[in-house]
Amino acid sequence: MQQALIIDDSRAIRRILGATIRDLGFEIAEAGNGREALEEIARLPHPVQLVLVDWNMPEMNGLEFVTRFRNERIQPDAKVMMVTTETAVDQMVKALEAGADEYIMKPFTREAIVDKLRLLGMVE
C-alpha cells in the first residue's frame, strides 16, 4: 500500500483529503504543520510516495516544508502537491520552483484531486 502524508493545520481539511486519498488505496499519515510533518516522516515505517501540503500553517509553512523536503532529499521520489488558498500565479511559481510537483487551489473537489493524482501517475 502506498503511503501519503497530509499536512494542513485544519483538521477538517486533513479529514476531507484523507478520505479521498484513502479511497484511492493510500495509507494516510497526518501533520498540522511542516515541522510536525518532518517528525512524522522520520517515524513512518515506509517511505512516503505522496505529500499533500497546505501553504499557510504555523511554525513551518508549506513552502518552507517543500523547500527543506526537496533540498535535503528527505524522500526524493515522493510526489508533492500543494493544496492551498494561495491563488496568485507568483505563489504557484514559487511552490513549483521549490519542488512541488502539482498545485491545487482550495476549495477543491474530489474529482480535481483525483485528476491531479492521475497527472502525477499516482492513480489510474
Q: Which domain range does residue 28 map to?
A: 2-119
Q: Which residue has the cell 513551518?
A: 60
pLDDT at 115 over 90: yes
CATH of the domain at 21: 3.40.50.2300
Residue 72 belongs to a domain: yes
Distance of CA 69 to the CA centre of its chain: 11
Residue 113 belongs to a domain: yes
Residue 93 belongs to a domain: yes
Whole-structure pTM value: 0.96
Residue 124 belongs to a domain: no
Q: What is the pLDDT of residues 70-85, one digit of tens each?
A: 999 999 999 999 999 9
Extract the runs of DSSP E, i.e. beta strands, from the chain.
Answer: 2-7, 26-31, 50-53, 79-84, 102-105
Domain count, the chain: 1
Banded pLDDT at 96 (limits 50, 70, 90): very high
